[in-house]
């Protein structure tokens, strides 16, 4: 994973949980536990591996923890500075069709909390098809191979500069498609602001249980909303913590605007 890319992503995650650091979080919220294992086959930059964080909303801080995914320690640390505390990551080759499980000991202010997720399978490797050149102000049809072991798909339009400059505005479009989908028509509005000669990346992510994109993260306003968002696929249990662990397989294609 690119360290610059990680810091930007994590800052956005924390801004979502803290309301951007401008307002105190609501009281009486649980610890938010979030984890993702991702196989990334992007043509721009591989961002595969593990990520986890544990946010104490009542005290507006990240908590330290011992984290393992498939008994593999996730022990590289980023301190993004939005709030006090660490986020854990580890660049790893996530393998399609294998299962992944998160286990952690969270060091909460009231004492240690043991949390875990069920085993989640990584969706199969698949290929996608998108035109190499696309006319401006026109919808674009993207197709992909069937992925029978995926619960849903995320389709995103990313400015290619996003992976280097880490800008929230660089995710210009994001939507979901259900299990079994093999195509989607991206509206012309997703390419607004792109001029002839500009490039963009179309990314399709097959996922199980949980996945969150930068476009969705940017819409979260505070810790309470974050709890509800992550709780929609809640599968991390233990010690009163709430949260989600998901596994994803992503593939991308570069498109030049004509």
Instruction: Say whether both 181 and 55 belong to one domain.
Output: no
Looking at the 3D structure of the chain, how many domains does it have?
2
Give the residue among 94, 256, 96, 226 at the shortest CA–CA distance from 160.
Answer: 256
Highest mean pLDDT among 42-46, 107-111, 160-164, 224-228: 107-111
Chain centroid to CA 135: 29
Rounded Cα distance, 88 and 51, in Å: 6
- 150 is in which domain, residue-wise? 128-206
Instruction: Say whether both 150 and 237 belong to one domain.
Output: no
Rounded Cα distance, 50 and 67, in Å: 10
Tell me, yes or no, whether 59 lies in a domain: yes
Tell me, yes or no, whether 212 lies in a domain: no
Instruction: Say whether both 161 and 241 belong to one domain.
Output: no
Q: Are β-strands 87-90 and 76-78 bridged in parallel, bridged antiparallel, or unpaired?
A: antiparallel
Q: What is the pLDDT of residue 230?
A: 56
Instruction: Say whether both 88 and 50 belong to one domain.
Output: yes
pLDDT at 122 over 90: yes
Please name every residue paired with 54 in a beta bridge, in sequence order, or none if there are none: 33
Q: Average pLDDT, whole number, for the chain?
A: 80
For the residues 242-256, what does the mean pLDDT come to?
Answer: 93
For the residues 108-114, what does the mean pLDDT come to?
Answer: 93
pLDDT in tens, 123-158: 999 999 999 999 988 999 999 999 999 999 999 998
Torsion sign across C-alpha atoms 184, 255, 218, 229? positive
Residue 232 neighbours by CB under 8 Å, 6+ apart: 244
Task: Output phi, psi for 181, to 5 deg.
Answer: -65, 145
pLDDT at 164 over 80: no
Q: What is the pLDDT of residue 138?
A: 94
Q: Are 110 and 236 in contact (CB under 8 A)?
A: no
Tell me, yes or no, whether 139 lies in a domain: yes
Instruction: Say whether both 138 and 116 belong to one domain.
Output: no
Instruction: Say whether both 23 and 132 belong to one domain.
Output: no
Q: What is the pLDDT of residue 228?
A: 57
Q: CATH number of the domain that 172 lies in?
A: 2.60.40
Distance linking the first and last C-alpha atoms of the chain? 31
pLDDT at 11 over 50: no
Tell me, yes or no, whether 83 lies in a domain: yes
Instruction: Say whether both 18 and 101 belong to one domain.
Output: yes
Q: Are β-strands 76-78 and 120-121 bridged in parallel, bridged antiparallel, or unpaired?
A: unpaired
Q: Are 90 and 49 in contact (CB under 8 A)?
A: yes
pLDDT in tens, 26-40: 445 678 898 999 999
Tell me, yes or no, whether 257 lies in a domain: no
Rounded Cα distance, 152 and 180, in Å: 8
Instruction: Say whether both 105 and 37 belong to one domain.
Output: yes
Instruction: Say whether both 144 and 19 belong to one domain.
Output: no
Instruction: Say whether both 103 and 16 belong to one domain.
Output: yes
Instruction: Say whether both 7 and 30 belong to one domain.
Output: yes
Instruction: Say whether both 28 and 66 belong to one domain.
Output: yes
High-pLDDT (> 70) share of the chain, %: 74
Tell me, yes or no, whether 69 lies in a domain: yes
């Amino acid at each position: 994973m690119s360290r610059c890319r990680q810091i930007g992503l994590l800052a956005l995650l924390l801004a979502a949980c803290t309301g951007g650091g401008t307002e105190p979080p609501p009281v009486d919220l649980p610890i938010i536990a979030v984890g993702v294992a991702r196989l990334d086959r992007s043509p721009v930059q591989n961002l595969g591996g593990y990520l986890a964080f544990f946010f104490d909303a009542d005290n507006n801080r990240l908590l330290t923890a011992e984290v393992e995914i498939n008994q593999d320690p996730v022990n590289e640390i980023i301190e993004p500075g939005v709030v006090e505390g660490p986020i854990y990551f580890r660049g790893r080759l996530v393998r399609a069709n294998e299962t992944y499980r998160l286990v952690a000991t969270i060091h909460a202010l009231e004492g240690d909390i043991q949390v875990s997720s069920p085993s989640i399978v990584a969706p199969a490797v698949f290929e996608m098809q998108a035109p190499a050149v696309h006319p401006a102000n026109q919808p674009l049809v993207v197709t992909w191979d069937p992925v029978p072991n995926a619960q849903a798909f995320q389709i995103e339009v990313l400015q290619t500069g996003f992976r280097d400059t880490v800008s929230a505005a660089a995710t210009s479009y994001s939507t979901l498609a259900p299990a079994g989908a093999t195509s989607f028509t991206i509206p012309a509005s997703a390419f607004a602001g792109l001029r002839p000669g500009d490039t963009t990346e179309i990314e399709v992510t097959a996922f199980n249980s949980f996945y969150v994109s930068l476009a969705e993260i940017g819409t979260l306003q505070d810790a309470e909303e974050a709890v509800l968002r992550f709780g929609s696929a809640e599968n991390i249990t233990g010690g009163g913590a709430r949260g989600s662990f998901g596994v994803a397989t992503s593939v991308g294609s570069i498109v030049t605007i004509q």
